[in-house]
Amino acid sequence: MFNSKVSFIVFVFVITISSFSIFSTENDSLYQAKKQLNEKYNVYLEAEKRGDYRNALQDAKEVLAMGEMIYGEISPQTAVYSNNLADLYNTKGNYKKAIEFYKKALINNLNITGENNQSVAATYNSLGAVYYKLAEYNKAIGYCKKSLSIKLQLFGENHHSLSNVYNNLGKIHDTLGEYKDAIQYYNKALAIQQDSSSTIETYNNLGTLYYNTGDYDKAIEQYEKVLKLTVELKGDKHPDIAAIYNNFGKLYRLKRDYYKAILYYEQALTIAQKAYGDKHPFIATTYNNLGSLYDNKDNYTKAIEYYQKDLDISRQIFGESHPSIAITYNNLGAACRALDEYDKAIEYYQKALDIKIASYGEIHPSVATTYNNMGTVCRIRFDNEKAIFYYQKSLDIKLKTLREDHPSIAISYNNLGAAYKATKDYKQAIFFYEKTLKTAIQTYGNDHPITIAASDVLGSLYKSMGRSEKH
């Protein structure tokens, strides 16, 4: 009996040890998986921090896949990882993918917490910001207002977290030309902001609004507030001061006070070069701004000199295929066009176009702009058939990416009308000028120069066809 009892005890002990080993192995595997996930997450964070978005994107994809295996598709962790991936796609300008993963994070959070949750509100706000970039303004407003509604329920009217949503709504209404609504939202943001950084952002947005409305003095007034707060917060040698000086430079350039504009651009360069060295995107941008200034002064040779400096730096930083390189090629094309160097202009525009299509795809407003520029060069050279080809490509993209009454669409209709008029195809010219007139009335009203010009051209075209009609 004693021996049997001993055998039983040993047997139980062995089973217990064996069960513990299996449990321990499972725990070890989970521990190792979580450890690998954390290590990969830190690699992603480091890549994002240094601006290596290509590798950060790949790391973020792997983090999400690992997170879903460990925690499941519906969990707080995978919601965060989906949101991080969406942020990266947003940064890289892949807005459709950004929306896909913001919505994935949203569904996750809605399943876990329901709608009245801060994370849900934040994702709605992010979706609003992306739809704004896609020029889908009704959707952008809808998502931002959903975010606002949740935050109002959670925190009340005076919580500082509402300021971000108010700022986004202000930007959307600013873009739509609804400046009174934009100012109201910016003022609401200012009323509840508790820190200088948020207040600086709102004053900066107000500066942009007044810049957009052509009220450059009021814009300068807002940027002066930004400058004062930034100096108090960060000192007068901080790179952010250089950015503010750059804004002053742009405004004084538009006011045609070129002396002051150059002073501000040079101050911006001095601060930025000390902070960043000679090879930095901000330095390239400031050279580009100086190029634009000399462009405005009709000193196109000097403009090209600065655009070339911008190009040299940008190539070293970004390589040959970055969207910022396309902007510089576009500006070089415009300067060459002004110097009647049409072959060079087309060459630069084509380079810009190739980069934009590679970066954004064919259907993007920026691609439409370059097609339009190429059309204009062809029209100046009296190659109206090619001009029509490029203008039509530009219009087709705009109709897919912008609302129908967008000012840019009126410009495309006008350009096509002019090109067809030059070929004496008056029927097609009338067709496009009528569309120009309709869009211009919707956008600008009856008394705007574009509306008046379109109406006058239509009158002369009707006479050319032996008709007389009133508009």
* Domain end point (choices 274, 298, 319): 274
DSSP 262-326: HHHHHHHHHHHHHHH-SSSHHHHHHHHHHHHHHHHTT-HHHHHHHHHHHHHHHHHHH-SS-HHHH
Backbone dihedral angles phi then psi of residue 298, each to the nearest 5 degrees = 65, 20
The confidence score (pLDDT) of residue 305 equals: 97
pLDDT over 70 (residue 5): no
Does the pLDDT at position 13 exceed 80? Answer: no
The answer, yes or no, to whether residue 407 has pLDDT greater than 90, is no
Q: How far apart are CA 163 and CA 202, in angstroms?
A: 9
Q: How many CB atoms lie within 10 A of CB 427?
A: 9
pLDDT class for 9, splitting at 50, 70, 90?
A: very low
Which one, of 306, 305, 353, lies nearest residue 329 by Cα?
A: 353
The residue-averaged pLDDT of 175-198 equals: 87
- Contacts for 322 with CB less than 8 Å, ≥ 6 apart: 314, 355, 359
Whether 261 and 291 share a structural domain: no
Tell me which of 199 and 466 has the higher pLDDT: 199
Provide the 8-state DSSP code for 339: T
Q: In this structure, are residues 386 and 394 in contact, taking their beta carbons and an 8 Å threshold? A: no
DSSP, residue by residue, 405-439: T-HHHHHHHHHHHHHHHHTT-HHHHHHHHHHHHHH
Q: Assess if residue 383 is contained within a domain.
A: no
In the predicted structure, residue 294 carries a pLDDT above the cut 80: yes
Q: Do the domain assignments include residue 75?
A: no
Task: Dig out the tokens for 33 from the structure.
Answer: 């998986």
Distance CA 410, CA 437 (A): 8
Domain ends where: 315, 341, 361? 361
Inter-residue contact 66 to 77 (CB < 8 Å): no
Same domain, 171 and 143: yes
pLDDT confidence band for 19 (50 / 70 / 90) = very low
- CATH code at position 309: 1.25.40.10
In tens, the pLDDT along 126-149 reads: 999 988 887 788 899 999 999 999
Sign of CA dihedral 196, 198, 202, 207: positive
Q: What is the pLDDT of residues 304-331, one digit of tens each?
A: 999 999 999 989 887 888 888 999 999 9
**Predicted pLDDT at 25:** 55
Residue 313 maps to a domain: yes
Q: Is the pTM of this model over 0.75?
A: no
Task: Answer whether 325's CB lies under 8 Å from 314's CB.
Answer: yes
Query: Do residues 409 and 446 both lie within one domain?
Result: yes
Q: Which distant-in-sequence residues (6+ apart) come within 8 Å of 176 by Cβ?
A: 137
For residue 26, pLDDT over 80 is answered with no
Distance (Å, whole) CA 38 – CA 373:
49
Co-location of 127 and 177 in the same domain: yes
Is residue 450 in a domain?
yes
Residues 335 and 356 in one domain: yes
Shared domain check, 255 and 203: yes
| Residue that terminates a domain, selected from 274, 305, 331 | 274
Rounded Cα–Cα distance for residues 399 and 432 (Å): 14
**Residues near 211 by Cβ (< 8 Å), separated by ≥ 6?**
219, 250, 251, 254
Predicted pLDDT at 1: 40
- Structural domain boundaries, residue 130: 115-192
CA distances from 107 to 134, 151, 152, 256 (A): 22, 18, 21, 51
Per the model's pLDDT, the better-predicted residue between 196 and 331 turns out to be 331
pLDDT tens, residue by residue, 235-290: 888 888 999 999 999 999 999 999 999 999 999 999 988 888 888 888 999 999 99
Cα–Cα distances in angstroms (integers) from residue 90 to residues 131, 134, 246, 357, in the given order? 11, 11, 25, 18
What pLDDT was estimated at residue 310?
95
> Given a cut of 90, is residue 10 above it in pLDDT?
no
Q: DSSP letter string over 438-467?
A: HHHHHHH-TTSHHHHHHHHHHHHHHHHTT-
Q: 9 versus 278: which is more confidently predicted?
A: 278
Residue 316 sits in the same domain as residue 244: no
Output 41 or 317, whichever has higher pLDDT.
Answer: 41
The answer to whether residues 243 and 292 belong to one domain is no
81 in a domain, yes or no? no
> From its phi and psi, is residue 74 left (phi > 0), alpha (psi between -120 and 50) or beta?
beta
Q: What integer pLDDT is reported at residue 336 of this predicted model?
A: 96
Same domain (yes/no): 184, 199: no
Could you tell me which residues come within 8 angstroms of residue 134 by beta carbon, excluding any fewer than 6 positions away?
A: 95, 401
Residue 55 lies in a domain: no
Lookup: tokens for 149: 């509604």
> What distance in Å separates the CA atoms of residue 33 and residue 130, rounded to the nearest whole number?
33
**Does residue 184 fall inside a structural domain?**
yes
Amino acid sitting at position 158: N
pLDDT over 90 for what percent of the chain?
Answer: 48
Q: What pLDDT is recorded for position 12?
A: 42
Q: Looking at the structure, tell me whether residues 176 and 188 fall in a common domain.
A: yes
Average pLDDT on 76-96 reads 86
Same domain, residue pair 200 and 165:
no
Mean of the per-residue pLDDT values of the chain: 86
Quick one: pLDDT band at residue 442, thresholds 50, 70, 90? Answer: confident
3 state DSSP class of 116: coil
59-85 pLDDT, tens digit each: 889 989 998 898 888 988 999 999 999
Q: Which two tokens stand for residue 88?
A: 């990266």
230 plus 247 within the same structural domain: yes
* Domains: count for the chain: 4
Q: What is the mean pLDDT of residues 34-63?
A: 84
Query: Helix or strand or coil: residue 330?
Result: helix
Give a yes or no: residue 38 inside a domain.
no
